[in-house]
């Protein structure tokens, strides 16, 4: 266990060092010269290069390829060190900052490892699906990787995050079941070091103690804090409010905590509802607006290795890159200047890689990127032609290069999960009490920064009117479009639609969006404080994303705004975690004693938000699980026969083999053997494949094939069908017997050879 962790960290530090020496000249303005994001960039470097080599069919994904890439990066970094020896004196001066950021990485890595180690089983929720993705990549060793749950076709989901994780497995030689466990602490550590580095930069004029404190606040807000649903949990378990208040909050009959000890609930999965706050119910209790509001600590707690969670440090790194362009332009002029072009190009490619990790991240990164570009153009006070030539073109060029680099995914293997019409208007808006519950942690810090900037004295000119009108226009766009769409499709405005559009939540979001955009434009017109400009830009992007989710949703597989709210809220949480650290810094540094009063409600709300992480961690530890980092080890105790089958298949089958096992419901144990080995089966979790591919006909056909094979009973047509699957490994175990109760095991002796058997499983190789 200790050896695996050590080898894993050594590799992460190697790629971090190599990328640090390659890119430190670009990120010299950071207090740590980019050390806080170097490991993240290193992962993208080795992942991107290996992905391109495999896409060109030059190599397979193996140790030799990855170690060769490391040597290439070593040569490049050595050359850049030799060319920039003078800069290393500056690095030595800032060595304490580098060590401090690295201490943050290690602290949060081991903190998350402690929590994950007591709940490492790759079982339940969507962990088997995540593990399937990882094993599919390492087992197939090809690009595009085979889909273990849709044999014969490649993965159609955005899988680059899993590819990066697979690279760590292949080069270290550590089992995927251990890599899966270590990856969650890695994402936590990378996210913590990145946000700490960003806040350290944005608070550069403060005392060291203040910078450390506020950097930690940002880390805690991002990775430890929760929304304020725990207030209602505490009110419930201590009976502080009457029943009707809880029912009013819920919108229907409140789901009470049944059992609790002196300070926390003890109900099974009592914490689940913290991610399902926003909803509207009909008079008879039917859900009308079911949504998800997951936050990073919830992701850590549940232990799924999903793209939205994996992408956190990569989004933060993208934010640093976007800020770099903003800062360099203010200092050096047009983006087309040679000094700025490398970071512009790198940013475009990097953001396209982040979209490959999680498609939804494009919304926040493109919005922030082009807001900054638009602001830079306004500051240049030039014509529209210059906007296109000096700003849009060089910016877009980087994205086009990134699109070309990953064209194999974007143009060929990815499949859109959005249906026509692609965008639909929201019918039921978020109730304001639910909005406050979800976003209460950030509202006061945001309001303080807006208040602080509104009180700054600025000498206005005609640009004030431009900023005012543009801000009003941008905020009105979603509302006016929503009104127009509802009018077109309904022919009239009824009371429900009008009440929804002009709800208190929409009003509040529009005000914050307007003020933050207006202040951002003011700062661009009248000053060179790039940090204040950027912070206000992040506030606008965060609240505007939430505002958009209140008015429109992407028409995906689920047919409602559940996923739009989920992904937009998650991205806004990342940005606002930076904002809260900067806001607290401003309060601490403020000499106005009345403004310092803002700190007290922030502290109270912050402490309440940490109750969730403390109480849920205690809940996890109370299960008395042994500390273990092997996510497949639980099978040794719960299903040793299946573990024996998985080990046999992993040892004896190669990447040309395929298996036939029963399919079943998502979130269940069905299709576990294909998920745990990466060997393709005919069909895995049908519901998930339907989400990724959208083809009901193909999925139903595969289900029918599996049904006919297991229930063939010597039917001539089914026997003929089975012969199409020559050399497949047919698995008959407890799940197959459960699903196909009329199965005749002996019949398969006529069509296959028993290659493995224990008390629960029989494996046939089809002749």
Mean pLDDT along residues 33-53: 96
What's the confidence (pLDDT) of residue 262? Answer: 82
Query: How far is residue 248's CA from residue 229's CA, in Å, rounded to a whole number?
Result: 14
More confident residue, 539 or 264: 539
CA–CA gap between residue 40 and residue 197 (Å, rounded): 13
DSSP letter, residue 765: E
pLDDT at res. 334: 52
Query: What is the structure's pLDDT at 161?
Result: 96
pLDDT for 466: 81
Residue 663 pLDDT class (50, 70, 90 cuts): very high
C-alpha to C-alpha distance for 594 and 591, rounded to whole angstroms: 9
Look at residue 652 and tell me whether its pLDDT is greater than 70.
yes
620: pLDDT strictly greater than 90: no
What is the number of other CB atoms lying within 10 angstroms of the CB of residue 361? 25
Note the pLDDT of residue 341: 76
For Cα atoms 234, 578, 447, give the angle at the middle one, nearest 5 degrees: 70
Please write the tens of the pLDDT for every residue from 86-108: 777 777 778 899 999 999 999 99
Whether residue 513 has pLDDT greater than 80: yes
Cis omega before residue 144 (within 30°)?
A: yes
Please tell me the least confidently modeled range out of 18-22, 275-279, 482-486: 482-486
Integer angstrom CA distances of residue 144 from 57, 412, 627, 679: 10, 10, 36, 15
Averaged pLDDT, 667-671:
95
- Residue 553, classed as helix, strand or coil, is strand
**pLDDT confidence of residue 645:** 96
User: How large is the average pLDDT for residues 387-397?
Assistant: 72
pLDDT value at residue 492: 54
Q: What's the pLDDT score for residue 500?
A: 76
pLDDT for residue 332: 66
Q: What is the DSSP letter of 57?
A: T
E strand or H helix that includes residue 344: helix 341-357
Q: Is the confidence at residue 528, as pLDDT, over 90?
A: no
**How high is the pLDDT of residue 490?**
65
* 185 confidence band (pLDDT: 50, 70, 90): very high
- For residues 90 and 310, the model is more confident at 310
**Residue 762 near residue 756 (C-beta atoms within 8 A):** yes
pTM for this predicted structure? 0.95
Averaged over 686-698, what is the pLDDT?
Answer: 89
In terms of pLDDT, which residue wins out, 695 or 461? 695
The pLDDT value recorded for residue 390 is: 65
582-600 pLDDT per residue, tens: 999 999 998 888 888 899 9
Q: Are 122 and 180 in contact (CB under 8 A)?
A: yes
pLDDT, average across residues 264-268? 87
pLDDT-wise least confident of 532-541, 568-577, 705-714: 705-714
CA distance 692 to 710: 26
Using the predicted structure, report yes or no on whether residue 700 has a pLDDT greater than 90.
Answer: yes
Under the banding of pLDDT at 50, 70 and 90, the label for residue 347 is: very high
Least confident of 342-351, 580-589, 603-612, 678-687: 342-351
DSSP label at residue 390: I
pLDDT at 477: 94
For residue 386, is pLDDT > 80?
no
Percentage, residues of the chain above pLDDT 70: 95
| In contact, 224 and 216? CB cutoff 8 Å | no
Instruction: Report helix, strand or coil for 108.
Output: helix
Per DSSP, 429 falls in state P
Range 329-335, long-range pairs (CB < 8 A, 24+ positions): 329/376, 330/376, 330/379, 330/528, 330/530, 334/380, 334/390, 334/391, 335/373, 335/376, 335/390, 335/391, 335/394, 335/395
Mean pLDDT of 12-31: 92
What contacts 299, CB < 8 A, 6 or more positions away? Answer: 306, 308, 309
**pLDDT for position 326:** 87
Q: Is the pLDDT of residue 462 over 80?
A: no
Sorted by sequence, the CB contacts under 8 Å of residue 273 that are 6+ apart come out as 229, 255
Whether 381 and 349 have beta carbons less than 8 Å apart is answered as: no
Residue 557 has pLDDT above 70, yes or no: yes
Tell me the percentage of the chain whose pLDDT exceeds 90: 67
DSSP H stretches of helix in 491-561: 495-501, 504-526, 530-549
pLDDT at 456: 53
pLDDT digits (tens, 9 = 90+) for 206-224: 899 999 999 999 999 999 9
For the chain, what are the domain ranges? Answer: 1-225+590-621, 277-296+417-573, 311-415, 639-766
Residue 333 is predicted with a pLDDT of 60
d(CA 318, CA 312): 10
Average pLDDT in the chain: 90
Q: What's the CA gap between 332 and 390, in Å, rounded?
A: 13
| DSSP tag of 547 | H
State pLDDT tens for residues 625-643.
789 999 999 999 999 999 9
Please confirm whether the linkage preceding 421 is cis (ω < 30° from 0). Answer: yes
Helix (H, G, I), strand (E, B), or coil: what is residue 237?
A: helix
What is the spatial distance between Cα 137 and Cα 155, in angstroms, rounded to a whole number? 9
pLDDT of residue 385: 66
Between 181 and 415, whose confidence is greater? 181
Provide the pairing of β-strand 659-660 with 729-732: parallel
pLDDT for residue 455:
59
Tell me if residue 729 falls in helix, strand or coil. Answer: strand
CA atoms within 13 A on the CB side of 93: 8
Work out whether strand 552-556 and strand 418-425 pair parallel, antiparallel, or are unpaired.
Answer: antiparallel
Region 358-376 average pLDDT: 92
Q: Which residue has the higher pLDDT, 456 or 425?
A: 425
Q: Is the pLDDT of residue 153 over 70?
A: yes
Distance CA 32, CA 197 (A): 7
| Residue that wins the pLDDT comparison between 699 and 334 | 699
- The beta-carbon contacts of 497-504 under 8 Å, at least 24 apart in sequence, are 497/427, 500/426, 500/427, 500/428, 500/429, 501/429, 501/551, 503/429, 503/430, 503/432, 503/550, 504/432
Give the span between the Cα atoms of 3 and 608, in whole angstroms. Answer: 38
Asked if residues 293 and 563 have their Cβ atoms less than 8 Å apart, the reply is no
Give yes or no for a contact between 550 and 460, defined as CB atoms under 8 angstroms apart.
Answer: no
């Amino acid at each position: 266990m200790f050896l695996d962790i050590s080898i894993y960290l050594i590799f992460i530090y190697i790629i971090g060092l190599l990328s640090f020496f390659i890119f430190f000249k670009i990120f010299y303005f950071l207090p740590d010269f980019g050390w806080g994001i170097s490991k993240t960039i290193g992962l993208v470097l080795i992942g991107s290069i290996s992905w391109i080599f495999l896409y060109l069919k030059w190599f397979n994904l193996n140790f030799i390829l990855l170690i060769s890439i490391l040597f290439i990066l070593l040569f490049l970094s050595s050359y850049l060190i030799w060319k920039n020896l003078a800069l290393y004196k500056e690095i030595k001066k800032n060595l304490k900052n580098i060590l401090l950021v690295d201490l943050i990485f290690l602290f949060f890595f081991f903190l998350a490892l402690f929590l994950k180690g007591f709940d490492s089983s790759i079982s339940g929720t969507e962990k088997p699906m995540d593990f399937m993705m990882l094993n599919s990549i390492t087992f197939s060793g090809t690009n595009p990787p085979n889909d273990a749950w849709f044999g014969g076709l490649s993965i159609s989901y955005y899988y680059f995050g899993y590819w990066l994780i697979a690279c760590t497995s292949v080069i270290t030689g550590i089992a995927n079941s251990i890599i899966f466990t270590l990856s969650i602490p890695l994402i936590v550590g990378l996210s913590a070091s990145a946000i700490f580095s960003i806040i350290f930069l944005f608070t550069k004029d403060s005392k060291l103690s203040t910078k450390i404190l506020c950097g930690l606040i940002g880390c805690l807000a991002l990775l430890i804090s929760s929304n304020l649903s725990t207030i209602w949990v505490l009110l419930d378990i201590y009976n502080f409010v009457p029943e009707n208040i809880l029912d009013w909050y819920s919108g229907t009959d409140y789901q009470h905590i049944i059992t609790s000890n002196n300070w926390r609930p003890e109900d099974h999965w009592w914490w689940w509802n913290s991610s399902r706050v926003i909803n509207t119910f009909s008079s008879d209790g039917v859900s009308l607006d079911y949504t998800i509001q997951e936050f990073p600590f919830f992701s850590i707690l549940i232990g799924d290795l999903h793209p939205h969670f994996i992408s956190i440090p990569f989004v933060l790194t993208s934010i640093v890159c976007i800020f770099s362009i903003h800062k360099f332009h203010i200092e050096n002029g047009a983006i087309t200047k040679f000094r700025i072009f490398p970071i512009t190009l790198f940013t475009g490619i990097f953001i396209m890689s982040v979209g490959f990790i999680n498609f939804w991240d494009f919304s926040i990164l493109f919005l922030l990127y082009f807001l900054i570009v638009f602001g830079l153009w306004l500051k240049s006070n030039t014509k529209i032609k210059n906007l296109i030539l000096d700003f849009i073109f060089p910016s877009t060029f980087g994205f086009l290069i990134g699109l070309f680099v990953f064209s194999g995914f974007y143009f060929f293997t990815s499949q859109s999960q959005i249906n026509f019409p692609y965008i639909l208007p929201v019918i039921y808006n978020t109730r304001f009490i639910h909005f406050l519950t979800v976003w209460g942690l950030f509202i006061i810090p945001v309001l303080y920064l807006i208040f602080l900037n509104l009180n700054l004295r600025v000498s206005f000119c005609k640009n004030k009117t431009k900023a005012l009108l543009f801000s009003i226009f941008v905020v009105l766009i979603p509302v006016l479009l929503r009104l127009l769409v509802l009018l077109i499709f309904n022919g009239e405005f009824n009371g429900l639609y009008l009440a929804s559009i002009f709800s208190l939540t929409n009003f509040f979001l529009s005000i914050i969006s307007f003020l933050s955009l207006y202040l951002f434009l003011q700062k661009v017109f009248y000053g060179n404080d790039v940090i204040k400009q950027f912070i206000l830009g992040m506030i606008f992007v965060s609240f505007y994303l939430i505002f958009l989710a209140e008015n429109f949703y992407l028409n995906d597989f689920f047919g409602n705004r559940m996923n739009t709210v989920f992904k937009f809220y998650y991205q806004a949480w990342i940005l606002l975690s930076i904002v809260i650290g900067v806001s607290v810094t401003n309060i601490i540094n403020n000499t106005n004693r009345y403004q310092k009063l803002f700190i007290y409600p922030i502290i109270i709300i912050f402490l309440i938000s940490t109750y969730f992480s403390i109480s849920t961690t205690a809940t996890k530890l109370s299960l008395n699980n042994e500390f273990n980092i092997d996510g497949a080890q639980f099978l040794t105790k719960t299903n040793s026969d299946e573990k024996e089958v998985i080990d046999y298949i992993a040892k004896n089958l190669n990447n040309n083999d395929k298996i036939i096992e029963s399919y079943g419901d998502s979130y269940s144990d069905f299709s576990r053997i294909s998920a745990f080995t990466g060997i393709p089966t005919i069909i895995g979790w049908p519901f998930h494949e339907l989400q990724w591919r959208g083809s009901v006909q193909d999925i139903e056909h595969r289900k029918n094939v599996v049904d006919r094979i297991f229930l063939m009973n010597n039917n001539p047509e089914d026997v003929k069908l089975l012969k199409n699957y020559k050399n497949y490994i047919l698995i008959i175990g407890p799940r197959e017997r459960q699903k196909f109760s009329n199965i005749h095991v002996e019949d398969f002796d006529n069509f296959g050879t028993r290659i493995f058997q224990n008390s629960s499983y029989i494996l046939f190789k089809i002749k």
